[in-house]
Amino acid sequence: MDIIETLHPLERKVIPFLKDNISLTELCKKVKLKEVEVMRALQWLENKKILKIRKDVQEIITVNPEYSKTTEKGLPEKRLLLALKKSSNLQDARKIAELDNNEFNISLGLLKRKKAIKLENKKIMITAEGKKLLKENFPQEQLFKKLPLKYSELSEQEKKHYQDFKNRNIIVTTLKKDRYVLLTNLGKELSKKDLTGELTDAITKEVIKSRSWKKKKFRRYDVKTQVSKIYHGKRHFVNQTNDYARRIWIELGFKEMTGPLLNTSFWNFDALFTAQDHPVRELQDTFYIKNPKKGKLPNKQLVERVKKTHENGWNTKSTGWKYSWDKEEAKKNVLRVGKCFRNETLDWSHLFEFNQTEGIVIDPDANLKHLLGYLKEFFRKMGYPKIRFRPAYFPYTEPSIEGEVYDPTRKKWIELFGAGIFRPEVVKPLLGEDIPVLAWGPGFDRITMLYHNLKDLRDLYKNDLKQLRGMKAWLK
């Protein structure tokens, strides 16, 4: 058989000991090789269709090491009941039974529930039920003498005792995994063959120099066999998406700006004409910082212009929000937008942080059509050519829009961003004149989730090594 000449030395050592349903554990003992070596040989043999590996998982029940005394001295409730035969005084009985506080309280509660004891004339008395328990000698205690045991080996009555002991944390269950061999017809035939012949695996320097290779028989190489996967180093798939989104805007001629993740409410809200009593500034939507609680405001002239704009509109032809602006509120430190932070309930579609690509264009000739064009081009390059817009409201833009892209895989529209043209109340205090400023903030965490076919946004950051190895590169 040609296949014999392809066998690795480890496979040759294992095959003579193979039989149906032999376990990996037993096989290692017989072959006298390390488990990793035997397992590797079995996997190679399975690839050659010589055998099949069956995985088996068993629940093994053992005594919790913390309760080892329980098995030596008996159940705490049994020891207490026996002690009460000698003394009806609880404290005396506790000392006789050698119980700690926790064991004593649990035992007392159990005996009361089983109506094994009762209080009579200020003394603890053993009831008829208690005498019956002593006569039966607590049959559940017999379970300890059998441990360790497989759960599948328990009788129905023992399963009831098992559940009781498990609830009390007296016993623990561990999973024991083993593998078993099932021989194919080829394997049964091969196990009868003589595999003692010597084959050479490699041409070494010594073999070449001595020319001994002329007298040797070389092992055939199986070019069809599976080999271990090699996982190359790569950036986290979320970072790949972020880099790609950044590259799109740079290729369109934009420059990247950076800033701190921590900023004052003045820059995060007030400068954007977000009223100080707006719901977005409340704790359920925003992360405020406890230490340092407040930061510094910019120059007084800018602060005064923003203050007047909020209170009466300043000279923007607006009425403002008609309230008394508080500079102390504006000093509060907050986690800023950009890398966005929200006080969200964590679930499959919401995280408390997400990535957003914010952009602005300042141009006297800019208009809404330009804004829609930028967004259409961005999402086209992100792989979503179908996009639609609808009117929206934001306190800092007018007109304001929200946008959705069409996901062809799921055949549904997905909301991804808000955008608009900054109001004069935002632009004039900052720039000194009212000129069009286009602004947008598309998020792309959901795009990342869709691209990688993830069902849960939380999977973006769980950093499971198996998941990360299996992630495809971002190619759009």
pLDDT at 349: 65
Residue (of 277, 265, 268) closest to 330 by Cα position: 265
pLDDT at 271: 95
Residue 52 has pLDDT above 70, yes or no: yes
Residue 374 has pLDDT above 80, yes or no: yes
Domain 242-468 annotated CATH 3.30.930.10: yes
Quote the CA–CA distance of 119 and 123 in Å, as a whole number.
Answer: 6
Task: Calculate what percentage of the chain has a pLDDT beyond 90.
Answer: 33
User: Tens digits of per-residue pLDDT, 183-233?
Assistant: 999 888 888 888 777 777 778 888 888 888 787 788 877 677 666 778 888
Residue 157 has pLDDT above 70, yes or no: yes
Element (H, E) at 417: strand 412-422
Report the CATH architecture of 65-173: Orthogonal Bundle (1.10)
Give the β-pairing of 397-407 and 387-394: antiparallel
For the chain, the domains span: 2-56+176-215, 65-173, 242-468
CB 280 within 8 A of CB 337: no
Residue 371 has pLDDT above 90, yes or no: yes
- In this prediction, residues 299-326 reach a mean pLDDT of 94
- Comparing 144 with 237, which gets the higher pLDDT? 237
CB 421 within 8 A of CB 371: yes
- In this prediction, residues 449-465 reach a mean pLDDT of 81
pLDDT at 361: 95
Please state whether the predicted TM-score (pTM) of the whole model is above 0.85: no
User: Tens digits of per-residue pLDDT, 379-425?
Assistant: 999 888 999 999 999 889 999 999 998 888 778 888 888 999 999 99
Q: Which band of pLDDT confidence, cut at 50, 70 and 90, is reported for residue 309? A: very high
- Mean pLDDT for the chain? 86
Burial class (CB in 10 A: 0-12, 13-18, 19+), 98: middle
Report the CATH architecture of 2-56+176-215: Orthogonal Bundle (1.10)
Do the domains spanning 65-173 and 242-468 agree at the CATH topology level? no
- Comparing 174 with 392, which gets the higher pLDDT? 392
